[in-house]
Amino acid sequence: MATMLDGNWLNQYVAPQLLEEFKNFKDDFIGTLKGAPASAITADGIRFNKLINNVGFLVNNTAELTAKKMNGKKAFVEWEKYDTEPTAVDDAEIRSLNYDKRAAVRVKHAESFKMGIRDHVMWKLAPGDDTSTDMPVIRTTGADDGTGRKRLTFGDMVKYLERVKGLNLSDESQLYIILCPEHETDLVLDRDSANYFSNREIFFDTATGKVKSIMGFKFFSNSAVLAYNNAGEKLAKGAALTSTDRRASLFYYAPNTVYHINAVKVLYKPETTDTKSADPTSEFRTQTYGLVDRVQDYGFGAIVSGIVV
């Protein structure tokens, strides 16, 4: 078996291709998020208005009517700055490489930026805890999967749909769930779904194992970690999971999102400007500004794996 060691081979007898990195760069759900109108974007951020419907309906009224004011609420989403950490490449390390390391480093920065934005969007949209009825967070109730985690059941999905229907979201074609890997597997294995769908291919693709959209929910899948602790609180991005923390699937109502990324700048300092280092060094980094957020705390949620007591 091949052994991985630090560094790069510098002689000519080296396979020309770089070995693959097994990382998940999937971010297909980003395309469903609501873009920011260009005319509404300011130097400070983007502002939203909302009218609160207080119109009453009367039957057989005989009293004189008095007009009421319809009040509004306002929301503000400010800019965020997104960076990758700089990478240094000196001419001593690339003098005999059989691939263009500088070009490869640029690709790695683009991949890291893509993963960083994906993880940030999922974390930002997810409710901070399980206390708001406007952003329902439920626990799965299925059997122990052998690790102390309760599986997601088809019945759990039906109950969650009931919670979502109670929010009266106007465009039911915009209900999305990003399934974590465990929950996607749970739904494929669940006996209730097997009984409900006599033709299993209606529910999931037998060739790929991908769960298809059902009951008004449109499914994506991702292995990016969104997790909650035993108290129902969302974990910080990148936090290590303890024995009582559980991964979660994210629900979001797309019209209540905003997503805008400025053009990403590739910052490059060539080694030809480095006149002092023994080994002249170039540096790479990506940077931009963007807007990613819930425009109102309504129509989001999570399905968190339950804990076997």
Low-confidence ranges of the chain (pLDDT < 70): 1-19, 191-204, 206-209
E strands, the chain, in order: 45-51, 72-78, 80-83, 87-90, 137-139, 149-150, 175-179, 218-221, 227-228, 246-253, 257-261, 265-269, 281-294, 300-304, 306-307
DSSP bridge partners of 214: 217
Domain that holds residue 166: 80-309
**pLDDT given at position 112:** 93
Count other Cβ atoms within 10 Å, centred on residue 217.
17
Is 13 inside a domain boundary?
no
**pLDDT given at position 192:** 65
Is 152 inside a domain boundary?
yes
Is 45 inside a domain boundary?
no
Is 166 inside a domain boundary?
yes
Q: Which two tokens stand for residue 278?
A: 């023994």
Helix (H) or strand (E) holding 112: helix 101-125
Rounded Cα gap, residues 79 and 65, in angstroms: 45
**pLDDT given at position 8:** 65
Is 139 inside a domain boundary?
yes
Is 91 inside a domain boundary?
yes
Is 288 inside a domain boundary?
yes
Rounded Cα gap, residues 165 and 157, in angstroms: 12
**pLDDT given at position 301:** 98
Is 261 inside a domain boundary?
yes
**pLDDT given at position 215:** 78
Instruction: Look up the pTM and report it.
Output: 0.85
Residue 58 DSSP symbol: -
**pLDDT given at position 227:** 95
**pLDDT given at position 161:** 94
Domain total for the chain?
1
Residue 256 sits at φ, ψ, to 5 deg, of -95, 15
Helix (H) or strand (E) holding 294: strand 281-294
How far apart, in Å, do the first and last CA atoms of the chain sit? 42
Q: Which two tokens stand for residue 12?
A: 């000519």
